[in-house]
Structure 1
Amino acid sequence: MSKRAGKAENNKKLFWRLHHWVGLYTGILIGALSLTGAVAVFIPEIDGWIVKHHYKALSSPSPTGGPQFSQSIDSLIHQHPDYSSLSISLPDHSGQVVHADVILRPEGGNLKRVDFFIDAGKDRIIGQRNHQNSLANYLRQMHVRLYEGYWGRQLVGIGGLALAVVAITGLLIYGNFMKKQLWPKLRKTRDMRIIMADWHKILGISALAFNVVIALTGAWLGLQPWLMRWLEIKTPNTFKAAIVMEPEADKAMYVNWNEILKTAKKEFPALQPRQLSSSTNGSGTVTVRGNIAGQIYERDINILVLSKTDYRPIFKYDVREQSLSHKFYFIQEALHFGDFGGLMLKALYALLGLTSGFLSISGFVIFLFRRQKKKKFQRADAWKTTFVYSVAVLLFLIGIALISLFIGYSTASLIAGILINTLLIGLIGYALLRYLFRLFNRNHQPSA
């Protein structure tokens, strides 16, 4: 064997080890993120359906053609003078309600985030819910940080890196194999190990580009706090208006929301307003956030800040006019969730996203079948073990969802944190002991 061929063989073995061990130790995490991500892409649609059918919150036709909510907002401010934040989400389609997201600070109590539903045609409050206990919040928090409040987001980022390593090493391992045929073929056999291996290759190659994009954007979004600190990256679009009055005076100022929307249309014609927020810190401003049609960036990143006193523009952020670094920063979330091409693109994202979960399961099954040769596992044991792990992940996701919806977010977060950290410590401990045991055996083998 030539030196070049030997080096290529050694590289292939290295790639295989990386593919094998990274996939094995992060398979459960990748599988959970795959399942939650496939559902999370539909958060706006799912939440809209729940609001409409569970809370019976619908908007009647507006006499002016635009959403009406000024009287309802004034009523909320008078009913809850202790509020600390107010944000208004406008409907995307006719029949949908206006959402008034209000953070309340009860005297002697904890902060409470309440979502009020407003009939956009008759300008009246027709319902409310605790935002933190909603299914939409569960889906978001579970996929973004696994409901673990301390460093769950970074753990998800590590999962993204692991998926990238598994996807790229998979391509490098099967690169030469792919040169021999246009596409992997299913071999005619009843051997389940071979069947799973063939499907593992087919789906891995088919979804390779998608998985790399999801992995890299997920790694960036998850590890963003660390990466920005280490690389000294400043967050774009962090305008802060000057304080010009006392906070209580700011909260008491009347806002003509119809005039705000008219001014936004005049000053920023391309902006599609989706969220309005009134300041409470004494800056005396109203911020209009929204999207620009045809742009692939995260939601509501374009903003227009207006003065509460005369509605003159104070600040404008149009992502189209920003530097490449700003555009790169704000394109990550849109690419990760497919939130730029309509329902069909989201369906494609969900379908391709589930392949990551299948690859985790099939890779684990293949690993267990290989152990049969060493007589450590029977074929039935391999399926039982895979079934137990899969059901455990589903029970965790469903259990945390039920606790969050019916008991509360804080309780669900506490339980999820305990389970995840216990599992993580156990996994790291097992890997370390396994390594030390092998090292001990290697150093104490009798010499030939």
Structure 2
Amino acid sequence: MAPDNKDKDQKLLWRIHHWTGLYAGIIIGILCFTGAVAVFIPEIDSLILKNYYSVSSSTISDPSALPSINNALAETKKQYPKMSGLLIDMPEKAGQVATFSFSVKGEKKSDNKFYYLFIDPVKDKILGSRDRQNSLANYLRQMHVRLYEGFWGRQLVGLGGIAFIVVTVTGFLIYGKFMKKQPYPKIRKKNTRILMADWHKILGITALAFNFVIACSGAWLGLQPKLMQWFDIKAPNDHEFDKVMDPKEDAKITVDWDEVFKAVRQEFPGLKPGYIRASEDGTATIEIHGSIEGQIYEKNINTLVIAKKTYQPVFKCDLRNASFIDKFYSVQEALHFGDFGGLGLKIVYTILGLVSAFLSISGFVVYLSRTNKKEKRKTSPLKTTFIYSMLILFVLILIAMISMFIGYRQASTLAAYIINGGLAIFLVYSLWKYILKKMNPKASLPVS
């Protein structure tokens, strides 16, 4: 290839990297920062339960003993006779509590109430309750997965993942050759732009493999609902059953949970139940979703479904016997959150996640430094970046406070206004800049 063509290709890569990072940098930065914290959601939630709610499970004297929840569930039904949609979450480790989450319908949809009870699966009793939606764990999960915006927040996260892929790949193609000429990890301190540019390049190359994995898995997880709908993709544990009775009769069937846990141990050895749901739609089934120790797959992707009356198996999804495609599908979430390698791997994920968040900040500083003279800004690039970063951090904390102490609905409404308002302002600003550029071509920004 001729030298001038190589130069053109390099400039094109630079433009793609520059504009993708500039326009998607805020979303990428927020996702990387919240993701760095979100990997510790189970540990954070466990500490809150022990120190704020003062709840923990009793010690099991016999490690082979089965959990027991019959009495706790009977007591729950007495307190909430109109409960529906019961979801039972089992503890991941000894000493942690199980939980019952369910709803009680009101006269209007807005009057529906949601409950979340702590259960000791050893002594089989209710320990307390909290509002699940208003918890810190739920805030971290919702902010990272959908930016706390229910309508199209998840799609924005998926698009942010695609932008992250573009930035990662173009960054490698641009700066890979540059890093061969510069001793690693040498940082030049000539001025702010060069200093931040060197940090940007070196940290970007260091976290390259991590960023690529996180970007690809994040793009898939964000766009997953739409992609599965458009291309008729089925999850490995997807299953449908015929209705065999009236849904009301199905909901009235009393389940012996001791028999359920016995059936799980017998029919699916090695399965550690994560969450359990009894049908209320007339199929008369009980779904047990769980994990198998040592597997690098999405939590609770392995599934056993048993009949509600006989406790006999009617469906089983064991990823150990699944196809390569199903295994590849199921590994994405585990790779994205790093919850398969213990505490050490989570710490590595957190450090690299914060590094990736810093790349958005350093890239913005470099952009401001490049254009500072042309734009004649009064505020220094570092100060401007600091102000923007603190403003974004303030918004994240504000939404967290509203979510935990006022309500999930109010927090998600605020997030929707901020995201949709921000997108509207961004589109108007971009259109205005485009029009000005067409009217005055000489005012266009330099590309190198």
User: In which range does the TM-score fall when normalised by the shorter chain?
Assistant: over 0.9
User: What's the counterpart of residue 82 of structure 1?
Assistant: 82
Name the CA distance, whole Å, in 2 between partners of 1:299 and 1:8.
Answer: 46
Q: 2:99·2:117 contact (CA, 8 Å) conserved in 1?
A: yes
1:157 aligns with 2:155: no
Greater Cα offset, 329-338 or 317-326: 317-326
- Could you tell me how far 1:339 is from its partner in structure 2? 1.4
Name the CA distance, whole Å, in 2 between partners of 1:307 and 1:421.
Answer: 46
User: What's the counterpart of residue 148 of structure 2?
Assistant: 147
- Could you tell me how far 1:179 is from its partner in structure 2? 3.0
Name the CA distance, whole Å, in 2 between partners of 1:289 and 1:161.
Answer: 30
1:413 aligns with 2:397: no
Q: 1:253-402 counterparts in 2 under 5 A?
A: 253-374=253-374, 376-378=376-378, 380-402=379-401
- Opposite residue 381 of structure 1, the aligned amino acid is S
1:19 aligns with 2:17: yes
- Could you tell me how far 1:240 is from its partner in structure 2? 2.2
- Opposite residue 70 of structure 1, the aligned amino acid is N
Deviation string for 1:26-85 (max 9, x for gaps)? 111111111110111111111111111111111222466443221001111232232221
Deviation string for 1:334-376 (max 9, x for gaps)? 1111111111111111110111211111111111111233362
- Opposite residue 396 of structure 1, the aligned amino acid is V
Name the CA distance, whole Å, in 1 between partners of 2:159 and 2:232.
Answer: 20
Name the CA distance, whole Å, in 2 between partners of 1:78 and 1:246.
Answer: 23
Q: 1:67·1:98 contact (CA, 8 Å) conserved in 2?
A: no
Name the CA distance, whole Å, in 1 between partners of 2:193 and 2:376.
Answer: 16
Deviation string for 1:277-314 (max 9, x for gaps)? 11111221111111112211111011111112111111
Q: 2:236·2:317 contact (CA, 8 Å) conserved in 1?
A: no
User: What's the counterpart of residue 54 of structure 1?
Assistant: 52
Q: 1:368·1:377 contact (CA, 8 Å) conserved in 2?
A: no
User: What's the counterpart of residue 117 of structure 1?
Assistant: 118
- Could you tell me how far 1:420 is from its partner in structure 2? 0.7
Name the CA distance, whole Å, in 1 between partners of 2:164 and 2:345.
Answer: 21
Deviation string for 1:93-123 (max 9, x for gaps)? 2221111112222344533332100122321
Structure 2: where are the runs of 5+ without partners?
A: none
- Opposite residue 228 of structure 1, the aligned amino acid is M
1:41 aligns with 2:39: yes
- Opposite residue 406 of structure 1, the aligned amino acid is F
- Could you tell me how far 1:236 is from its partner in structure 2? 3.6
Q: 2:157·2:222 contact (CA, 8 Å) conserved in 1?
A: yes
1:432 aligns with 2:431: yes
Greater Cα offset, 342-351 or 98-107: 98-107
SS of residue in 1 equivalent to 2:304: strand
SS of residue in 1 equivalent to 2:2: helix
- Opposite residue 161 of structure 1, the aligned amino acid is I
Greater Cα offset, 257-266 or 244-253: 244-253
User: What's the counterpart of residue 225 of structure 1?
Assistant: 225
Greater Cα offset, 269-278 or 101-110: 101-110
Q: Percent same amino acid among aligned pairs?
A: 52
SS of residue in 1 equivalent to 2:115: strand
- Could you tell me how far 1:263 is from its partner in structure 2? 1.2
Name the CA distance, whole Å, in 1 between partners of 2:217 and 2:76.
Answer: 39
Change in CA separation of 1:106 and 1:366 when aligned onto 2, cut-off 3 Å: same
Deviation string for 1:168-190 (max 9, x for gaps)? 11111112223335634212x35
- Could you tell me how far 1:417 is from its partner in structure 2? 0.1
SS of residue in 2 equivalent to 1:327: helix
Alignment RMSD: 1.9
Q: 1:62·1:120 contact (CA, 8 Å) conserved in 2?
A: no
Q: TM-score, normalised by structure 2?
A: 0.94
User: What's the counterpart of residue 207 of structure 1?
Assistant: 207
Count of residues in Structure 1 that have an aligned counterpart in Structure 2: 441
- Opposite residue 223 of structure 1, the aligned amino acid is L
Greater Cα offset, 243-252 or 416-425: 243-252
Change in CA separation of 1:301 and 1:389 when aligned onto 2, cut-off 3 Å: same
SS of residue in 2 equivalent to 1:34: helix
Change in CA separation of 1:254 and 1:444 when aligned onto 2, cut-off 3 Å: closer
Deviation string for 1:397-448 (max 9, x for gaps)? 1010111111111111111101111001111211122112212334999xxx
Change in CA separation of 1:230 and 1:66 when aligned onto 2, cut-off 3 Å: closer
Name the CA distance, whole Å, in 2 between partners of 1:48 and 1:113.
Answer: 21
- Opposite residue 428 of structure 2, the aligned amino acid is G
Structure 1: where are the runs of 5+ without partners?
A: none
- Could you tell me how far 1:267 is from its partner in structure 2? 0.8
